[in-house]
């Protein structure tokens, strides 16, 4: 199916992110992040969802998870899940994700970073939604795991997207849920 929104892709980065003590670490893959973000991405018409981790073991694990639903018993049992996991691409670093996405577009890929904290200079969802209507301009939306992407990642990205605010001071959405809300705000026809 051709999608006019395939110019948006998501990357879930397991490195470089902070841990609770603000040390830069590589987080472990979360099975459900992979499944849920793949299903939400596929539901909203995305064609690429990058799982990024420098750990070869973790990339093998990601391949096993997606392979199960692609080829094994899971493929016949749950074809919808196979279709979602078909958009997952597994990469060792941001550069290789960018270069894979770039291979499908002629305009240079722009990176958009986001996190749970308000930072100066962010763009809002309505503006990013409008930017996405330029169909031939690819964007990679970078999501962090652990306690968030490093400051260096934020400094290097082309755009900073505003965080999702709840009500009151408590704001601890799982990355899986935040991704679903972002896709809904950026792509849903309801808005």
Nearest distance from C-beta of residue 76 to a second copy, angstroms: 12
Residue 54 vs 74, nearer CB to a second copy: 74
Structure tokens at 153: 């990642």
Nearest distance from C-beta of residue 112 to a second copy, angstroms: 17
Residue 60 vs 188, nearer CB to a second copy: 188
Nearest distance from C-beta of residue 87 to a second copy, angstroms: 10
Q: At what angle do helices 175-187 and 125-132 cross, to 10 degrees?
A: 60
Under DSSP, the state recorded for 149 is B
Residue 6 vs 96, nearer CB to a second copy: 6
Nearest distance from C-beta of residue 181 to a second copy, angstroms: 5
CA distance 139 to 131: 9
Signed CA dihedral, 155, 164, 182, 191: sign only:
negative
User: What residues make contact with a second copy under the rule CB under 8 A?
Assistant: 1, 3, 5, 32, 35-36, 39-40, 42-45, 80-81, 83-84, 124-125, 164-174, 176-181, 184-185, 187-191
List CB contacts of 164: < 8 A, sequence separation 6 or more.
116, 171, 173, 178, 181, 182
CA distance 37 to 49: 8
Nearest distance from C-beta of residue 161 to a second copy, angstroms: 12
Residue 32 vs 156, nearer CB to a second copy: 32
Helix (H, G, I), strand (E, B) or coil at 88: strand
Residue 117 vs 189, nearer CB to a second copy: 189
CA distance 63 to 49: 13
Nearest distance from C-beta of residue 187 to a second copy, angstroms: 6
Residue 110 vs 185, nearer CB to a second copy: 185
Asked if 144 contacts 174 with a C-beta cutoff of 8 angstroms, the reply is: no
């Amino acid at each position: 199916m051709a999608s006019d929104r395939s110019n948006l892709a998501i990357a879930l980065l397991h490195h470089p992110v902070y841990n609770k003590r603000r040390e830069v670490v590589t987080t472990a893959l979360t099975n459900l992040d992979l499944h849920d973000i793949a299903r939400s991405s596929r539901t909203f018409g995305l064609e690429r969802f990058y799982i990024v981790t420098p750990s070869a073991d973790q990339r093998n694990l990601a391949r096993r998870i997606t392979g199960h639903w692609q080829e094994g018993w899971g493929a016949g049992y749950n074809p919808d899940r196979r279709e979602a996991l078909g958009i997952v691409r597994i990469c060792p670093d941001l550069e290789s994700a960018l270069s894979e996405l770039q291979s499908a577009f002629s305009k240079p890929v722009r990176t958009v970073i986001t996190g749970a904290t308000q930072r100066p200079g962010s763009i809002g969802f309505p503006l990013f939604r409008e930017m996405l209507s330029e169909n031939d301009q690819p964007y990679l939306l970078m999501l962090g795991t652990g306690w968030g992407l490093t400051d260096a990642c934020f400094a290097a990205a082309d755009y900073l997207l505003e965080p999702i605010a709840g009500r009151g001071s408590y704001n601890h959405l799982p990355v899986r849920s935040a991704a679903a809300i972002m896709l809904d705000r950026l792509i849903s026809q309801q808005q």
